[in-house]
Amino acid sequence: MASHTIRASFPQLPADLLRAGASGDRTLSRGKAMRGCDWVAIRNLTITLGILTGFATSSAIFALNWHHWAPEGPWNILVTKISYSAAATWALSALVILGILMAVASSFCSCSASSSACVTFCGFLTAALRTLLGALVGLFALCTVAAADDELSDNPAFMFGLFAAFAVCASAMTMIGIAAVLIATCQP
């Protein structure tokens, strides 16, 4: 009955796709049966997160270096403020993608809980995601404040915090990349 209703509503769909959907089987977009849990979204979001985190950290380091090494003039303050603002914007964008990735990873880990290898790698991924969350929040806060305060870039505590956030972001993204590769191979 359900497939007849679906067939009437969507006559362009192939019959085998309608049968698979009606029986509850999980199928891929190519119509092949899917074994295990789908990890492709984790891969794609990890790549996107790496790019956004790289933009955020490189913009912050550029702003700090520009402030210290560029010739004095009105453009020095302007470029520094714009670069810190860009870094904060990239960090905020990375935080949004990180939130989505955390939800997707949680869903995958629930699906693959029967595999002991996946449980181990999911724990590793979760720890790395939480580490990156703290680093990105710190980077966002530092860059937002630095965009508003012209003299903050000269403060040694600020420079230490910025370089610490950079180092933690880089190491956490490395851990996330490794965990994503391990998750892709943990299922039988």
**Where along the chain do its domains lie?**
1-34, 37-185
- Maximum alpha-carbon separation in the chain: 76
Please state, in angstroms and rounded to a whole number, the distance separating the CA atoms of residues 35 and 114: 13
Sequence-separated (6 or more) residues with CB below 8 Å from residue 129: 98, 101, 102, 105, 172, 176
**Cα 183 from Cα 139, distance rounded (Å):** 28
Q: When comparing pLDDT for 42 and 35, which is higher?
A: 42
| pTM value surpassing 0.85 | no
The torsion defined by the Cα of 141, 42, 130 and 63, in degrees rounded to 10, comes to: -30
pLDDT value of residue 23: 42
Q: Which amino acid makes up residue 89?
A: T
pLDDT score of 21: 44
| pLDDT tens by residue, 3-31 | 455 455 555 555 544 444 444 445 445 55
Q: pLDDT of 142-160, one tens digit each?
A: 999 999 998 899 999 999 9
Q: Which comes out higher in pLDDT, residue 76 or 48?
A: 48
Name the least confident of 18-22, 67-71, 96-100: 18-22
Mean pLDDT computed over every residue of the chain: 86
Give residue 56's pLDDT band: very low, low, confident or very high (50, 70, 90): very high
Q: How confident is the model at residue 106 (pLDDT cuts 50, 70, 90)?
A: very high
pLDDT at 72: 85
Query: pLDDT grade, residue 71 (50/70/90)?
Result: confident
Task: Report the pLDDT value the prediction gives residue 187, as an integer from 0 to 100.
Answer: 81
Query: 141-144 contacts: CB < 8 A, separation 24 or more?
Result: 142/60, 143/56, 143/59, 143/60, 143/63, 143/84, 143/85, 143/87, 143/88, 143/91, 144/84, 144/88
